[in-house]
Structure 1
Amino acid sequence: MNKFFIAFDLETTGLSLQSDRIIEIGAIAFEGGKPVEEFSMLVNPSRPIPAAATAVNGITNEMVANAPDEKQALESLLEFFDRYSNHKLLFVGHNANFDFSFLRNALNRQGITRSFTYFDTLYASRSLIKGLPNYKQGTVAEHLAIENEQAHRASSDALVCGKILLQLAPHSKKDPDEFVLEPKNIPNPDEMAVCAYFQKMLLANGAYSRDLTYYKNSNGYITISSLYEIARFKFSRKGHYFIVEKSALRNSDMPTEDCTASEGGSALSRVFFTHPEQLSSVQEYFYLKYREVCINRDTYFDSFPSEKDRYLNQLEDMLQLSIKDMNQLINTLDLIPSEPVPSIKKKAGIESVRSFV
């Protein structure tokens, strides 16, 4: 297999996507069937590491005490990924959904939305190797005579994962791309209809459709972004809700509920809706959030022009809505507004922004 790929692994404080945190990141770039560069970093999780986690990976609180925090570690990791932006990035992991769900959640906490296309060696080994007692990475590696010098440490596990892929690929009658998992980050049609209405609400007040991207994370939250998060909503068993700052709800009679700590804490509320037209009472808040994100995004791009080029290239792989698709989706909503989406009365300091595209 001569394709370029990055083998990836994380060590974490536990298995909960909501409450646990990353404590080590390992990534190995492979090209021409050989490892060419390594990224390895301990991460301070800003909380004690449970003894059960230390028993597995050997990482102690003392080892991470002076390590970069989550934000710093993720910035360094993305810099590593971006050095290979001239390649079509394919990532490789063993039980990859777990690692990339953790990574996406961590990025979301920092207000960053990224999509990843990845190959799962767990899925591939189950298909290509029959009769193993289990398909843990260690079992598969032993079967293929691949030595792991430091099992359950991120960089060493990532290296082994890449070597597993290199051994599996020649024995497959399938194209390796058939084992690439489609990221589970596409909102369903009903969720996309809400995205469409939200977009139309912003466009009525001077926003640009090319500024907006949509992404569904592993916890079911749909994030509306323009590099940074603008808004977030979820279809849950309790109902459909957006996450909104409490300070924006003084003039709203929409039903609310306090957010959990993982959603952002006591300064935020869940605002429940049955049709997105009910968001009209907070549309000014969302437009101001959009403007704030655009200003922060453009300031960042002014400081790092190459990041703007990278982001524009990445837009091709992100989920966006054309005006035509937006209008078609809105027509699928159960309740179709009888009036056009209103424009907010512009107050002092509220202006339109120009699309960065």
Structure 2
Amino acid sequence: MRKPILATAVLVSIFPAAGGASAKSPTVPLRDVFEAMGAKVTWTAASGRIEIQRDEVTLRFQTGSGTAYKNGTAVVMDTPVTISASGKAMISAYAVYPLAKNYKKERHYLVQKGDSLWSVALKYGVTVAQLKSWNGLKSDVIQAGQHLTTVSPWYIVQKGDTLYSISGKTETTISALKKANGLTSDRLSEGQKLTIPAAPSVSAPGMLVEGTFPLMGRTYLPFGDTYGDARMFSLGQTARVHEGNDMEANTGVPVFAAWDGKVIRIGWNTYGGWRLTIEADNGIAMYYAHLSGYADGIALGSKVKREQLIGYVGSTGYGPEGTSGKFISHLHFGMYDTNSSWKPLNPHPYLKWWETR
């Protein structure tokens, strides 16, 4: 079986997994991975210094060093940045998510037990008055599980903007934008002021509440619940339904493990293309499909840690091995209960909860 690889990787190591770092931790190409997430990467080969800018996150690395700097704060990695035989700077698959994640500047915040408007305002560098205005709050009382918009919910239409492009920039949907602004058509005017609707409150799922959303913020478009939808492509023309949720993203965008587990299935599947199934200790299997390739360190039987980079978004599947481009590039994410004969579960409530963390 051929294993597709986005880029050749070598073995080294980063943020320690449970029980300590492996002597041969998986690594991935630093530039390729961060540029796929929309970051600007500058590498000065003479000095070995690498700088990355993505949104409000600035990262600095030194080849050969195991310390990174995130917005000026030193972060100790479990392995230094190394150079592969092909001349690529390599970083541990465990390091990408915690370094790239913009924890303090996310558009939404999910209220935790013990939070107050004052504590949330302090965390995000805004005022209580702004939080109340942006979220339409009439009092200072907030509750665990409530969503708060942490940036201005207004958007000024720029030349070339469409409802589709604005929905992607602001993490909402076209229908929600039209409803919030009383729009009866898709037509926009330059300079028009739009209200960006706040995310609805989401209830915690009954398990896996500490899971990680499998894509980094602002690398994918807003998504809905497509679980149970009919699917046209089928072997033998047998009717089938969609057993997961789809998140549209560009080919090559990094995919991260939602939970710790063990790789129990990997390789080509006619429907899922290059797919990966990781089973958690509680018997819930998580299915990542249509990948363009796997990250280094991913193989049948390998142990995977939550937040580990495991693969890359693609459009593979719906045909013999190697078929791609039959549909828009996206990640299909499914969940199955192996304790109940692989009963499919709707992953949408889990994904929407993880998305806010």
Larger radius of gyration: 1
Q: Give the TM interval when normalised to the shorter protein.
A: under 0.3
**Normalised by the size of structure 1, how large is the TM-score?**
0.26
Higher helix share: 1
**Normalised by the size of structure 2, how large is the TM-score?**
0.26
